Structure 1
């Protein structure tokens, strides 16, 4: 099997007030929730650049279509990324469509809801795809935040109850049933609900206290937005 570096796909939706991070609305205003969503996307793309995949792809969903979105056009230029549209259908169908465009040399698809994920852990999942056909990185809510495929598309994007707490387990069962070799990426936590934002803020405060001078935040844009919103106040 070729050890060429796979592509990395950042799978995201255009941040629009009342349409983005809606489970945070109430604790945050719709505009603030959209700003946080934008920060997650930018931090994910910055990580993608830092681990140097063969190609960076933004698989986007936007009301007017990804190719017509000024927001995604700007991001694609800034991060030297290819921009593709997710298209219609279920989450599984859209992920399979995006991954299928790069299956010949492999691609790792990541969401944007793990802003504090260390770059080294993302790189570990990308590297694992050089050695096996499928990589899946679980999230603590029972889903997964990254999935990688090299070669023919595995039957793991249908017959799944997307959004449930059993997505990861169901996917692994499908892989085992099909006899497809796979590797697990490192587990991490998603930020979907207000309790997750509180966890993220606490995590970032701990990191800031222990951070060596000159070292950087795992999600500098997100950290900046949380500070401006008054959610994150570092202890001195």
Structure 2
């Protein structure tokens, strides 16, 4: 029997210059990197709305706290989302803290670095969480872009070397060692480095050529920023 529709948590940092997308600085200006990060967040929230979770939550990190961030308060109003602060600690501690309030009903936590992810793939991960206690959606860099938990918190948020190519493998090893049932969400690619931006632009250019003219971009805010920066140019 399927559980109730889970919540969806968008896990993100306020797009402040020199604080976000720092691996892109040098290939683009700090202002451009921040603009791209902002577009990623807006596209992720629009996608969250489209898959109709039980609740949308912005788990935010901001210099003065999420509750004092005009940026996040504005986004929460615009997308009908609740706002919570990630708090301090490692990436794993902050993710676990964001998921904990939803242990009874379940929640899928997503990052914002997969702007071209189709809504249908996000919906697939959300739906998988209705059938099992843990869902992991791998990213091609060796990590994962989404993790869902319904029920007891699994032992996957401590003792992991975050930011390495072994994050996904280590997480699956932990789940199997502890006999925790899990399911996979669809794999997709992250956009962290300049080469990823070039890949994203090529992907969006290809999609624009092949999709019906009435179909929309999977990430319109991101596409708009890439066009403005001169990274993306459509032929039609």
Common fold, TM-score beyond 0.5?
A: yes
Residues in 2 aligned to 1:59 and 1:227: alpha-carbon distance in whole angstroms: 29
Residues in 2 aligned to 1:213 and 1:190: alpha-carbon distance in whole angstroms: 26
**2:126 maps to what in 1?**
126
Residues in 1 aligned to 2:133 and 2:180: alpha-carbon distance in whole angstroms: 7
Residues in 2 aligned to 1:21 and 1:227: alpha-carbon distance in whole angstroms: 18
| Offset from partner CA, 1:178-222 (integer Å, 9 cap, x none) | 000000000000000000000000000000000102100000000
**1:178 maps to what in 2?**
178
**1:39 maps to what in 2?**
39
Residues in 1 aligned to 2:228 and 2:103: alpha-carbon distance in whole angstroms: 41
Helix, strand or coil: the match of 2:102?
Answer: coil
Residues in 1 aligned to 2:152 and 2:133: alpha-carbon distance in whole angstroms: 9
Q: CA RMSD in A?
A: 0.7
The alpha carbon displacement at 1:223 in A equals 0.1
**1:11 maps to what in 2?**
11
**1:139 maps to what in 2?**
139
Residues in 2 aligned to 1:103 and 1:28: alpha-carbon distance in whole angstroms: 40
Helix, strand or coil: the match of 2:8?
Answer: strand
**1:149 maps to what in 2?**
149
Structure 1 segments, 4+ long, off by >4 Å, are none
Residues in 2 aligned to 1:105 and 1:3: alpha-carbon distance in whole angstroms: 8
Residues in 1 aligned to 2:74 and 2:103: alpha-carbon distance in whole angstroms: 26
Helix, strand or coil: the match of 2:192?
Answer: coil
**2:206 maps to what in 1?**
206
**1:55 maps to what in 2?**
55
**1:112 maps to what in 2?**
112
| Offset from partner CA, 1:84-122 (integer Å, 9 cap, x none) | 000000000000000001111000000000000000000
1:221–1:175 distance in 2 versus 1, CA, 3 Å: same
TM (norm. structure 2) is 0.99
Number of residue pairs matched by the alignment: 236
**Where does 1:64-143 land on structure 2 (aligned, <5 Å)?**
64-143=64-143
Residues in 2 aligned to 1:43 and 1:213: alpha-carbon distance in whole angstroms: 20
Residues in 1 aligned to 2:20 and 2:69: alpha-carbon distance in whole angstroms: 16
TM (norm. structure 1) is 0.99
Residues in 2 aligned to 1:211 and 1:223: alpha-carbon distance in whole angstroms: 15
Residues in 1 aligned to 2:2 and 2:164: alpha-carbon distance in whole angstroms: 35
Helix, strand or coil: the match of 1:88?
Answer: coil
